[in-house]
Structure 1
Amino acid sequence: MGNSVAAPFVDDGLAKRNALLLAFTQSFAGGVPPIIFATTSILASTLLVEDKSLATLPVTAFVLGTAIGTMPAGMLMRAFGRRAGLAGALIFGMLCALLASYAAYIGSFSLLCLSTLGSGFVMAFTQQARFAAADTASPAFKPKAISWVLTGGILAGVVGPQTVILTQGMFEPFLFVGTYLAQAVLLAIGLVFVVFLKIPLPAKLEKHERGRPLLEILKQKKFFVAVTTGMIGYAIMNLIMTSAPLAMVACGLSTDDAALGIQWHVIAMFAPSFITGSLIGRFGHGPVIGAGFVLYAICALVGLTGLERWIFWSSLVLLGLGWNFSFVGASALLTQTYRAEEQNRIQAVNDFFVFGLVAAASFSSGKLLNVFGWETVNMMVFPFVIICLFLVMSLMFTERREVKV
């Protein structure tokens, strides 16, 4: 008995229940990123007098906060459980939203960045929701469990931008004060669903049961492909999405146009989740991830064709579709690289890598847009698409060769 590792608790019925609850949590708490992406760069550009290239810094702070929070999220959820970790994070997120409202009221750029840094830290916990749904799922149901949770983003894609449109002028002339107050309310609603989660606490592990050395896991080709495509896919999405609202306003479109563009983008990010898990089950991880990067390339091509509203919106929709296939595929592939006793540690490492690169992409987007323009932002997509397609095809070739052997 001393040398055995406890088998993971598997109950697909419970996994389905948790996935639905987490999908509803995502429907409201998931409205926070669209709010931040649609408003903070625009608000920051009104607060900055000299260096407008720093307008995307609040979004960068948000993504950086997510990267910083990945390791604590994994450790705290391992120690206290998924439900306690998510609940505590959402309460902290409500405080960050109130700070953002105060920052908008007094016109403080530094407090705005601090609030988005905290909100990003919270998102490190909510990002783990996709894995939480898979905790009690059988291997066959894991991709579907992840996809089910992400379907909550469809409603979030409407809730977030519509919150911006309805509340941005609530306390005129103070832009977005009411929006950030509403953000706190959305998190409170998400908290209600978290309370009803039932995810067993992970078993206490003996020292010899804590899994393989990290380096051994990192050396797996499948792990490398999952993390790299997840990193680059999310970074591409963030690069375009962060720049798009600023580019739209700079081209004479309204803040409502920018918010609606983000709305259709976020809906496209999550709408395919109804079928993504099934597509992975039928065609495999590689083809689904590859399809995501092909969509990224088409998105960039569309973005290069003009500056009309419909072109921005079409590009953002394609960007969302590309993210869904690439990120869900990479997340599902990651679940094949670790054992039950390794899951929290490896999920946290994965998200640290992903959001570390996304933070760099977010910070770069403002500089790229301000110095080189919207065309250059789109052109940056193509070399990374080529790299990821090469990795995916290499993995598919290796797996087919192993099957034949």
Structure 2
Amino acid sequence: MQARSNTGNVIRLAAAQALSMTTMNVNIINTALVGSLLSPLPWLATLGLSLQFVTSMLTTLPASLLMVRFGRRPVFMGGVMIAAASAFTQGIAILISNFWLFCLASMSLGVAHGCAGFYRYAAADSAEESQKPKAISYVLAGGLLAAFMGPEIARNTVDFVPGHLYAGCFFSVAAVQLVSLGFLGGIKIPKPERTGSGGRPIGSFFKMPIFVVGVISAAIGYAMMSYMMTATPLQVVNVAKLGTSANATIIQWHVVAMFAPAFFTGNLIARFGAPVILTSGVLIYLAAIASALLGDGFWWYFVALALMGLGWNFLYIGGSSLVASMANPEERGRVQGIADLVTTTSVATASLTAGALHSQFGWEVMVLSALGPVMIIAMALAWLGMVRRSNHV
């Protein structure tokens, strides 16, 4: 019975993940472009998207604590309703050409993304220890559907409202978000039983090499993907002049590369171990950076973003599986919240930095700057390897 219940949870959470990522994809494709039209200063073009990540960052820890108290389902459903209202307000802001209202609505949307970030952990909660990486992978695989839904919505609704470019995209995803309520209403995950101690102090986790490397890999892996993805529409549409359709195609296949491997990443982790998969993710990121620097045609951007998507999959799922493996049931809310707080802080910083560097110094300098953070992951993995060898783990 428990296995059947967990399968149902994974399916519902994967569907909710698909719809959440559809909204995110439409925002990634369009938000910086809307910003470039409405913002008073060019370097503020990515402010709306950056504020989404900031709010997501500020939401993760409170959301995780609310889930401990009230359970996952009500918090997830509340996040979906906020997403629908925020996307609708983004559309209104475009109609009245109000940049600051658009940024405010984008910031509010970050609350929903902060809640949705826990879908993967919710699936792992009721899974057997050996099945946790697979549960996380299958939920994230729901984003594969979003890889097609998001760009198609962006293409077909970009001029849906006459005279107001991009407004129709945001009105459309507001409706899409409401569909999530039907899926999330059926998830069945019991609240964790409270113990007298409440688990180990949070500081003790940062003394655990496996936890630290898991957080570093997931946080920097996500941040560098966001860094590249945030600036790509500005480069492809405004600098390379390849057009909005080319931009949508590049982002679409980037997202396919992010989520298609999730069907087997969990199995790869089970077979080879998370450190091997994380190391592969680092190597793929280095190849993506090389592709982004070697040329400025459509296929160079396409390959670079596709490789970033694949590398993100390995780093994010591998890192998340390490984090999930370290917490007992009564510790999950705090531990997962702290891990996601670090991740969303990194993503918010990377997103805003990408827009500023691209505006001030250009694509090449912006891309080269990604090498430093990627090498931090490599050094963390080397450190974990040395610790494991010394401890014979």
The normalised TM-score by structure 2 is: 0.97
Query: In the alignment, what sits opposite 2:13?
Result: 22
In structure 2, how many angstroms separate the alpha carbons of the residues matched to 1:383 and 1:356?
Answer: 17
What is the Cα deviation at residue 47 of structure 1? 1.1
What is the Cα deviation at residue 209 of structure 1? 3.0
Query: In the alignment, what sits opposite 1:37?
Result: 28
1:159 pairs, out of 149, 155, 159, with 149
What is the Cα deviation at residue 29 of structure 1? 2.0
1:180-233 Cα distance to aligned partner (Å, 9 max, x none): 111111111122111111111222x24x33011111122211111111121111
In structure 1, how many angstroms separate the alpha carbons of the residues matched to 2:13 and 2:32?
Answer: 29
In structure 2, how many angstroms separate the alpha carbons of the residues matched to 1:16 and 1:284?
Answer: 24
1:27-72 Cα distance to aligned partner (Å, 9 max, x none): 12220111111101101101124x2011010110111111011012
Conserved 8 A contact 1:11-1:138? no
Tell me whether 1:380 sits opposite 2:369 in the alignment: yes
Query: In the alignment, what sits opposite 1:13?
Result: 4
Once the two structures are superposed, the pairs formed by residues 2-401 of structure 1 within 5 Å of their partners are 11-49=2-40, 51-203=41-193, 205-206=194-195, 208-249=196-237, 250-401=239-390
Ranges of 4+ aligned residues in structure 1 off by more than 3 Å: 10-13
Three-state SS of the structure 2 residue aligned to 1:386 is helix
The normalised TM-score by structure 1 is: 0.94
In structure 1, how many angstroms separate the alpha carbons of the residues matched to 2:154 and 2:18?
Answer: 16
Conserved 8 A contact 2:231-2:355? yes
In structure 2, how many angstroms separate the alpha carbons of the residues matched to 1:221 and 1:54?
Answer: 38
Identity of aligned residues (%): 34
1:311-362 Cα distance to aligned partner (Å, 9 max, x none): 1111110010010000000000101222111001110101111111111111
Conserved 8 A contact 1:209-1:341? no
- Give the aligned residue type for 1:64: V
Conserved 8 A contact 1:93-1:119? yes
- Give the aligned residue type for 2:26: I
In structure 1, how many angstroms separate the alpha carbons of the residues matched to 2:59 and 2:385?
Answer: 33
In structure 1, how many angstroms separate the alpha carbons of the residues matched to 2:2 and 2:380?
Answer: 34
Conserved 8 A contact 2:26-2:150? yes
- Give the aligned residue type for 2:109: S
What is the Cα deviation at residue 402 of structure 1? 2.8
Cα root mean square deviation, aligned: 1.3
In structure 2, how many angstroms separate the alpha carbons of the residues matched to 1:66 and 1:321?
Answer: 23
What is the Cα deviation at residue 79 of structure 1? 1.3
- Give the aligned residue type for 2:130: A
Question: Quick check: 341-350 or 16-25, which moved more?
Answer: 16-25
Three-state SS of the structure 2 residue aligned to 1:141 is helix
Conserved 8 A contact 1:32-1:183? yes
- Give the aligned residue type for 1:126: A
- Give the aligned residue type for 2:280: A
- Give the aligned residue type for 1:341: E
In structure 2, how many angstroms separate the alpha carbons of the residues matched to 1:120 and 1:48?
Answer: 20
- Give the aligned residue type for 1:287: V
In structure 2, how many angstroms separate the alpha carbons of the residues matched to 1:89 and 1:321?
Answer: 28
- Give the aligned residue type for 1:385: V
Conserved 8 A contact 2:82-2:111? no
The number of equivalent residue pairs is 392
What is the Cα deviation at residue 393 of structure 1? 2.5
In structure 2, how many angstroms separate the alpha carbons of the residues matched to 1:98 and 1:335?
Answer: 35
In structure 2, how many angstroms separate the alpha carbons of the residues matched to 1:387 and 1:217?
Answer: 19
Gaps of 5+ in 2: none
Conserved 8 A contact 1:12-1:141? no
Gaps of 5+ in 1: 1-9
